[in-house]
A and B are shown apart, each in its own frame.
Chain A
Amino acid sequence: MKADPVGVAKGSYFMDGDHACAEGAIAAGCRFFAGYPITPSTEIAERIAERFPKVGGMFIQMEDELASMAAIIGAAWTGTKTMTVTSGPGFSLMMENIGLAVMMETPCVVVDVQRGGPSTGLPTLTGQADMMQARWGSHGDYELIALSPNSSQECFDLIITAFNLAEQWRVPVLFMMDECVGHMTEKVVIPDAYEITITPRKFYRGKKKDFKPYKFNGHTKIAPMVKAGDGYFFHITGLTHDERGYPLINAEAQQTNVQHLVDKINKNVDKISIVEEDNITDADVIVVSYGISSRVALKAVEFARKNGIKVGTLRLVTVWPFPEKRIKQLASQVKAFIIPEINMGQISLEIERCAAGQAPTILVPHAGGWVHDPKDIFQAIEEAVA
């Protein structure tokens, strides 16, 4: 399906990542937004507040992030595409109902414009330290999808992918920006509506009495949904449940329910995962990065290549689910992985796990507040091949 032209502000702009993200969401068909102001994500909410009344969207500023997250799940069950945006402290509060969205298999998009943490940390300065929280933040076992854009243009393009993936897999999709990407102003080209592909909500079309909100018998088939108010009289719960959505409190039901939640993502990594590779084939070292760090790393890579070092790059466009298979493959052919990230080592641990001793992983950490000095990344590359 193509995008609704009403929401597509075609043209070339000089725009920051936050605004581009808002425009992308509107283009993707998002028409319900609930949020709570927090730096550095507020500009997204502001842009939506201004634009929604003119495109037929519903904006509400809630009393906190707990409420924002709950509201977008409720709204999703009326058939609309929903989003909320936040940063670290608010992301922590949203964890409760991100778990509910996972359990209720509700498509929605949560944007986290990361700043330095822990706690209030660095409200106005950048960080990438919520990556593991994105993966594990809510209690219990589950899998979801997280994307990480690295430019204003990508904030626009990739948030559309986020909405599409949410619909395709009936899962909350986390959009892991960072303060730099959010506040960096660059050229953004918004194409014609007919050039934007949208995954519409898959609605159930069978007999009303046969409707079940879930399908646990195969990870390739995601059950179609219905809307509240259409006479299906369906029930859904955050409790462990059967395919009818009815609570079932026992170990077998838990096994079936959780296995399904995990399988539908884990067994489809190849269909979900997006990575961007460059000069991989004969690389001695590979710099693995995401978000703003991938832009900074380019400078170091360029310098290393000038110095005759064979460096490849791999950018995680989707961070979760993790491209485990690909990293394993590459681990057998390179001397080392270099992972610059604005945290004290999160994704690097995941690379280390996947490399499983085949290649060393070298973390270039940064506590946050600013991006890496490319020299530090270059130095790590140099040491790796020495």
Chain B
Amino acid sequence: MTEVATQSKKGETKPKNEKPKAVLRDDYEHPMEIYLRIERFPHIWCATCGIGTVLTAFISGLEKSKLDIEKVTVVSGIGCTGRTAGYLRLDSFHTTHGRAIPFATGLALGNPKLKVVVISGDGDLTAIGGNHFIHAARRNLDLTIICVNNFNYAMTGGQAGPTTPMEAIASTAPYGCYEYPFNLPFLAESSGAVFVARWTALHIRRLTNTIAEALLKPGFSFIEVICPCATLYARRNRLGDGLDLMRFYHDNAIIKHGANTREVDIEYQKQIIVGKFVDIDKPTFLQQRDRFLKNKLGNQFIPYKEPVS
């Protein structure tokens, strides 16, 4: 089509290869446009992938929190969810595999006025980045972690990971996964997180509210979002398409606020317990540090101040 157009009458033709970009039309306004790098669209996510839903919930949650968006920074690692940072019109960092949390630690401590959010996948945050995850929680760093859990490494073609349920098939578990998976809310709580919640990509309204709440919560907050991966996880396991997975969440997600995180394991195609599990108060790393050093050093202590440009 474009070829033909190029060859037709001069003056009215469009340059070769230029695709119509609906989102860039002057008259077009997406309600979330100011938060998105529309110029980078179309995004890389598959149809019926849940990450876009999480992105929408994040933007709505951010609006709801009424935080100054200039002071909100998003860090992602590597993987499908790792691309989230690249689509958000905020100060955003796409880092190395597994290192989103330590990179975010540098940002959060380098400028304590920032609200630093890590949005990344289950493999990135809890396999290669597992050590950073537990230590950031232990320190109660002021970070909000949104972990999109699609039960597999989707970017690289659907390999098994630390959250793949037993029995589920993955490209590196062709006969089914026989490892015990992580129970992420339990991992987060036992490592020291002050706020722990889980939703599925179906629970948009609840997820949005929880994100707003987590953004305003000082300390290490953790939200796990169970997400459909129709292209790989669902296809290999013959679970249908994205809509079927949403139906599954609808029928099998049980809301249990305050549930004991010990008991929220996810088994293959069984019930998924969701809700806000943990919400406690405890001084953050910085509060603890400043109070402690002030106490020990008295007037000798000079609090850290972010640099001015």
Chain A residues near B (Cβ < 8 Å): 6, 31-32, 34, 53-58, 60, 62-64, 66-68, 70-80, 82, 96-97, 99-100, 201, 203, 226-239, 246-247
Contacts and interface: CB of A to CB of B under 8 A. Distances in A.
Contacts of A203: 309
B111 A227 contact: yes
A32 B106 contact: yes
B75 interface: yes
B183 interface: no
Given A58-B109, A67-B132, A79-B307, A233 B300 contact: no
Contact of A60 (B73, B98, B105, B111): B105
A6 B302 contact: yes
A62 to B, nearest CB: 6
B86 A247 contact: yes
Q: Which of A57, A63, A229 has the most CB of B within 10 A?
A: A229
| Binding site secondary structure of chain B | mixed
A54 B103 contact: no
Interface stretch (B89-97, B196-204, B213-221, B253-261): B89-97
Interface string B34-46: 0001001000000
Nearest to A68: B102
Nearest to B115: A229
B304 A58 contact: yes
B16 interface: no
A246 B40 contact: yes
Closest CB pairs A-B (n = 4): A74-B106, A78-B110, A75-B110, A75-B106
Interface in B142-196: none
B297 A53 contact: yes
A71 B106 contact: yes
Given A234-B91, A235-B94, A67 B105 contact: yes
Q: Which of B70, B108, B109, B305 has the most CB of A within 10 A?
A: B109
B47 interface: no
Contact of B105 (A74, A77, A231): A74
Contact of B70 (A57, A97, A229): A229
A71 B103 contact: yes
Nearest to A71: B106
Contact of A74 (B90, B93, B98, B305): B93
Contact of A237 (B94, B107, B293): B94
Interface in B262-309: 293, 297, 300-309
B13 interface: no
A336 B140 CA distance: 60
Contact of B307 (A54, A71, A227): A227
Contact of A96 (B85, B96, B305): B96
A235 B86 contact: yes
Contacts of B107: 74-75, 77-78, 228
Nearest to A205: B309
B300 A237 contact: no
B90 A54 contact: no
B64 interface: no
Interface string B88-129: 011111111011011111111111011000000000000000
A73 B95 CA distance: 10
A237 B85 CA distance: 9
Contacts of A78: 106-107, 110-111, 114, 306-307
A97 B302 CA distance: 30
A247 B307 contact: no
Nearest to A54: B300
A57 B86 CA distance: 31
